[in-house]
Amino acid sequence: MKFGGTSVEDAAAILRTAAIVAGRRRKGLNPIVVVSAMAKVTDTLLAAAAAAGNNDRESALRLSEGLRTRHLDVAAALVADPDRLTSLQLTLHHDFDSLDDLLRGISAVGELTPRTSDHVVSFGERLSSAIVTAAFAEQSLSSAHVDARNVILTDANYGKATPHPRAIENALTAQVLPLVELGRVPVLGGFIGSCDGITTTLGRGGSDYTAALIGGALHTGAIEIWTDVDGIMTTDPRIVPEALRVKTISFEEAAELAYFGAKVLHPATILPAVQKNIPVYVLNSRNAENPGTRITATPPPCASPFKSIAAKKKLTIIDIVASRMLLAHGFLKSVFDVFDKHQCAIDMVSTSEVSISVTVDSKQALPAICAELSQLADVKYESNKALICLVGEDIRGISGIAAQVFAAVSHINIRMISQGASEINMSFMINEEDVEEAVRSLHTKFFAAPDAAIFDVESVPGVAGLSRR
Ligand code: ADP
Ligand code: ASP
Ligand code: MG
């Protein structure tokens, strides 16, 4: 069971989380709990690290002080037992003292390396997991804190480390299973790991991944991702408030959605689950009775072509034009080698005889990449682009679907199109400022008469029963 930042954001949220876990225990299940940092803490820690890296010691320490107060307040609100509270406060103060030492050190050198950044940001999950463990105990839920860094063993790619599944399985068997066998609920911080004793992280949103790695390694009966929405929705409810819950979705569809921007799930979450065919559920910790979304190998057929629409902002399109390379073989390889060298992932590609356009989401390496590409071709790039991705198993072989999609966004300028790379996704690139309008238009077009077998139409007055296969 993984609880995201909003599910542990304050004392009330942590109490709801404890009640949900206790409910699973009453059903005779033995959950392992993974928690994120409290909402916004990761961002604040990154801001503190950045300030320290700019020699701004005062700002860094002020941000840390704010976090210290917030964590101590939540601890005091949750834990009444004096011994337990004293011990938790000691842990929190000890962690914040080391964080402050670290921030002072970073501002003294005025340099923030990815390795130190991971160290700073790891405090978020270390602190939240300590508080949640104590809060569970206070609610008579026998719990045990496990330092995730001793379990989630990774390579040394700071900021986005790759886990070592075999080593993780061994560590879980040695350190976590014995706790489960004693009837205790292990609580681990998500997102963090280690390589040779040095702290690493799995990348933003990585707590989902931690849960999936644990579920996959121990072959658990389910992986539950508890968040602040009712499940995977037909699109981001922040853009379309009337988005519907998708009751079931396939692993492939969920993976495409996650990769192309649906923040509700980390893209890597699906893999460990697929490999062992473990069902993944996305559930709402503020509405625990709701059945959420079930992600499975083969979902039932759906009458609507699409299940969900994702959008990913902050992308850059790079146009590489090489008329002198006309038909030269090996050209694509030399282009992709440049991206590979800078470890820059490409989201979308489109080619013509003399040119190739690619989209990337990293701005960092862009100047270096473009400088190298200029030796091969003429290079231009445009930032502030966004990708819109429509996902559905049932678009395979539907004729006229592309016409319907583009008719719905005929008033929006489309910069690049891709279909067919996977048979279940259609994507295109637009300007960032058009995202909301494009998503709303597509949502209106494709979810006006949703299939009640797949979408939660019961939640929408007047729509229920409208569409049956
Ligand atoms: P957590 O902190 O629990 O991991 P996140 O903020 O990472 O939560 O993810 C949940 C958010 O994802 C939701 O609040 C919602 O705004 C956003 N989101 C984007 N696309 C979707 C979608 N298709 N379905 C549900 N939520 C989505
Ligand atoms: N706390 C981390 C983040 O905000 C990891 C997570 O929440 O999944 O990115
Ligand atoms: Mg998340």
Mean predicted confidence (pLDDT) in 133-140: 98
Closest atom of ligand 2 to CA, residue 36: 7
Mean predicted confidence (pLDDT) in 47-57: 97
Report the percentage of the chain scoring pLDDT > 70.
96
pLDDT digits (tens, 9 = 90+) for 54-63: 999 999 999 9
Mean predicted confidence (pLDDT) in 313-333: 81
Tokens representing 363 are 């701005």
Q: Residue 469's pLDDT is what?
A: 30
Separation of 356 CA from ligand 2 center, angstroms?
35
Closest atom of ligand 2 to CA, residue 207: 8
Q: Degrees (nearest 5) of the Cα angle 204, 206, 209?
A: 155
Mean predicted confidence (pLDDT) in 281-309: 92
Separation of 40 CA from ligand 3 center, angstroms?
11
Q: Using CA atoms, how far apart are residues 88 and 364, in angstroms rounded to an integer?
A: 40
Mean predicted confidence (pLDDT) in 203-220: 96
pLDDT digits (tens, 9 = 90+) for 341-366: 998 889 889 888 788 999 998 777 88
Task: Quickly count: other Cβ atoms within 10 Å of residue 403's Cβ.
Answer: 9
Ligand lying closest to the C-alpha of residue 210: 2
Separation of 206 CA from ligand 3 center, angstroms?
7
Q: Decide if pLDDT at 327 tops 70.
A: no
Q: Which of 59-63, 423-427, 458-462, 465-469 has the lowest mean pLDDT?
A: 465-469
pLDDT digits (tens, 9 = 90+) for 368-397: 999 999 988 899 999 999 999 999 987 877
Pocket of ligand 2 (CB under 6 A): 4-5, 36-37, 42, 124, 190-191, 204-208
pLDDT digits (tens, 9 = 90+) for 228-274: 999 999 999 999 999 999 999 999 999 999 988 888 999 888 888 88
pLDDT band per the 50, 70, 90 thresholds, residue 326: low
Residue 227 Cβ contacting ligand 1 at under 6 Å: yes
Separation of 192 CA from ligand 2 center, angstroms?
9
Closest atom of ligand 2 to CA, residue 209: 8
What pTM was computed for the model? 0.92
Separation of 208 CA from ligand 3 center, angstroms?
7
Tell me the best of 33, 207, 223 to mutate to test the pocket of ligand 2, counting ligand atoms within 8 Å of each CB and taking the most: 207
Residue 5 Cβ contacting ligand 1 at under 6 Å: yes
Q: Decide if pLDDT at 464 tops 60.
A: no
Tell me the best of 16, 43, 223, 229 to mutate to test the pocket of ligand 1, counting ligand atoms within 8 Å of each CB and taking the most: 229
Q: If you average pLDDT over every residue of the chain, what do you get?
A: 93
